[in-house]
Amino acid sequence: MTISELQKARYGYKPKLPAVLAGQVSEISVDLGAPTSAVANATELRSIFKHNFGKPIASFQPGKGSIKPKARTVGVILSGGQAPGGHNVIAGLFDGLKKENSASRLFGFTGGPAGLTNNKFQEITAEIVDAHRNTGGFDMIGSGRTKIETPEQFAAALETAKKNKLDAVVIIGGDDSNTNAALLAEYFLANGAATQVIGCPKTIDGDLKNELIETSFGFDTAVKTYSELIGNIMRDANSAKKYWHFIKLMGRAASHIALEAALQTHPNICLISEEVEQKKLSLGALIDEISAAIVRRAEKGENFGVVLIPEGLVEFIPEMKKLIAEINDIIPAHKDEFAVLDNFAAQLAFFEKKLSAESCAAFKSIPAEIAKQLLIDRDSHGNVQVSRIETEKLLMGMLEERLKKMKKEGSYKGSFLPLGHFFGYEGRAAAPSNFDADYCYSLGYSAFVLIAAGLTGYISSVRNLTAPAAQWKAGGVPLTMMMNIEKRHGAEKPVIKKALVELDGAPFKTFAAARDTWAVTTSFVYPGAIQYYGPSEVCDTTTITLRLEQGK
C-alpha cells in the first residue's frame, strides 16, 4: 500500500495521555464514589438492571492501587457509524493490555456487534495496531448496526464470550450501542458469566454526553472538517457573489454539528432542529425566515449566502414529525400489503387511505422525490435514515417558488441561484484531529484500567477536556446512570438519554445573539484545514461548543 508522507508521520504521533494513566496500572488507585441513580425511571431501571443499577462512579487517582497485573483476553467491537479516532481507542486499549502483561490478547470482533454473536473475530496484533494509529475510519475491524436484542442473540454473545474465555468486551458506540452494552453487562452477570462489559462514547453527532461524558469522540474532527469545507464554500460565495448554498450537515437527531459549524463559520442562516420543535415552526415558517434574509441581502445587492441545515430537521418540523410517526406505525402494521407496492403512485394511494387528513396533506405537499425518501427502510434501531432525505433540496425548491411569487408581486428584485450540498461521510472517517487522537487513545486506555479494576457495566470517561491532556481526569461512569425509559417501536424500553441542543445553554445562546447580524451582513469566517503540527492553540484546542459549555 502506498502511504502519504503525512500518514507516515501520523503513525508516529504519540497521543497525549492524562498524567494518571501514564505510569504502571499498579500505580493507579480506583476510587469509587457514592451509589448512583438514573436520569429518570429509577424504579423500573433498578428492576431491569438488578446486578448493575446504582453502581458508583469510578475515578482514577495516582497512588498504590489494588490492581494485580495479569494476562487478559479482551474483545473489542466498533459499532454504528464511523467516527474519527476509533482506531486510537483500540490502540489505547491494546497498549494498556500489553503494558500490563505482554501475554494479554485483544480480539477484534469484525463487522460490528454481529461479530460477537457470530463469533467472527481477528486477533489484533502490534503490526495491525501500528498500521492504524491516528488514522480515520473503522476499517481495522469494520463496524455494523446489528442490535443485540433477541434472547438468541444474547445467548450467542455469551457463547462467544465463554468459548474464547473473554475477560471483557469493549463496545465502542453511540447511545444505542452503549444501551446494548448495559443490557449485555446485565445479561452476563445474570447468567453467572465473568466477562465484563465496558462502553466507549463514540458518535460524530455529539449527542452522547452529560456532566461526566463531556463529549463523544469524533465530533471534534468531523465538525472541523465540515467547517473547513463550509469556509471554503463561503469564500467562493463571497468571491463569485452569485450563489446561495444550502448545506445539509450530518447529525441524525441533535443539531450539535450544525450549531458548532455555525459558531466556527458564521453562516447567514443556521436552522437548529431543537428550536424548530420548541417553537413549533412549520415548513412555511422556515421558508418565511430564510426568504426574509434572502430579500434583505438582495436589497443590499448581495445575491449570495450560506444556509446550514441539520440532517435531522424533517423529524422536528411538527407536521413532518407527525407524518413520519404515522408512516413508522403504518408500514410495520401493513407490512405485506406495503411490500408489494412497486411504484410511488401505488404507495401514495395506499397512504392516502391510511394517513390522518393532516399528514396526508403534508405528504402530498412535498415533492414526490422527498416523499419517496420518507419511506426508505428504517435502520435496526428503528431510526429514519435522515442522511438519505434531501432536506436541502426540499427547502431550495420551496424557496424558489416563494421568491418567484414575491418577484411577481414586486416585493423581491434579486436573483436566486441555489446550490445544494450534503456534508456527512466526508467528515465521518477523517483522520482524527490531535484532540480526537489524544481523547480516543485515553478513552481506550481508561477502558483497559476499568477492566483491570474488575468493573463491568461502565462507560469509559475522560474529563476536564478543555485543559491540557496531562490534566484530564479519567475513570468510568455506570451506564445505568445515563438511562431512562422511552417509547421505542411502540414499547417502553430502557435507553441512554440522547443529549439534544439545549436552548438555554451557552453554545445556542452565543449563536442566537449573533445570528441576526450574520443573516444580513456577510460575516463569514474561514477556519481552514485541521492542523496536526504547530502551536498548541492551533493544533490541540477542541470545539467552541465544549469551551462555551465549560464557561471557557
Residues in contact with ligand FBP by CB under 6 A are 80-81, 83, 174, 203-205, 250-252, 311, 386-387, 428
For residue 217, the minimal CB distance to ligand FBP (Å) is 10
362 backbone dihedrals φ, ψ, rounded to 5°: -65, -40
Q: Give, for 201, the enclosing helix (H) or strand (E).
A: strand 196-201
The single-letter DSSP state of residue 187 is H
Euclidean distance between CA atoms 56 and 62, whole angstroms: 19
The cell for 323 is 407524518
For residue 356, the minimal CB distance to ligand FBP (Å) is 27
Q: Which of 199, 200, 201, 198 is nearest to 451 (CA)?
A: 198
For residue 294, the minimal CB distance to ligand FBP (Å) is 28
Q: Which is nearer to ligand FBP, 25 or 257 (CB)?
A: 257
Strand 121-123 with 105-109, pairing:
antiparallel
Q: Which of 180, 129, 157 is nearest to 440 (CA)?
A: 129
Q: List own/partner pairs for 414-418 with CB under 8 A and 24 or more apart.
A: 414/294, 414/295, 414/297, 414/298, 414/299, 414/303, 415/242, 415/298, 415/303, 416/244, 416/294, 416/303, 417/242, 417/243, 417/244, 417/303, 418/243, 418/244, 418/245, 418/246
Cβ distance 544 to 260 under 8 Å? yes
Q: Is residue 205 annotated as a catalytic residue, yes or no?
A: yes
For residue 111, the minimal CB distance to ligand FBP (Å) is 13
Euclidean distance between CA atoms 496 and 282, whole angstroms: 29
Q: Which is nearer to ligand FBP, 403 or 431 (CB)?
A: 431
The catalytic residue among 167, 205, 220, 540 is: 205
Euclidean distance between CA atoms 234 and 487, whole angstroms: 41
Q: Which is nearer to ligand FBP, 201 or 418 (CB)?
A: 201
Cβ distance 327 to 374 under 8 Å? yes
Cβ distance 89 to 444 under 8 Å? yes
Q: Which is nearer to ligand FBP, 143 or 291 (CB)?
A: 143
The residue behind cell 476499517 is 139
Q: Which is nearer to ligand FBP, 312 or 476 (CB)?
A: 312
Q: Which is nearer to ligand FBP, 18 or 218 (CB)?
A: 218
Q: Which is nearer to ligand FBP, 30 or 395 (CB)?
A: 395
544 three-state secondary structure: helix
E-assigned strands of 426-546? Answer: 458-463, 473-478, 483-488, 491-496
The residue behind cell 482506531 is 87
Q: Give CA separation, 367 vs 91, 394, 395, 396, in Å.
A: 47, 7, 10, 11
Strand 473-478 with 58-62, pairing:
antiparallel
For residue 33, the minimal CB distance to ligand FBP (Å) is 29
For residue 227, the minimal CB distance to ligand FBP (Å) is 16
Q: Give, for 266, the enclosing helix (H) or strand (E).
A: none
Q: Which is nearer to ligand FBP, 116 or 294 (CB)?
A: 116
For residue 551, the minimal CB distance to ligand FBP (Å) is 27
Active site amino acids: 205
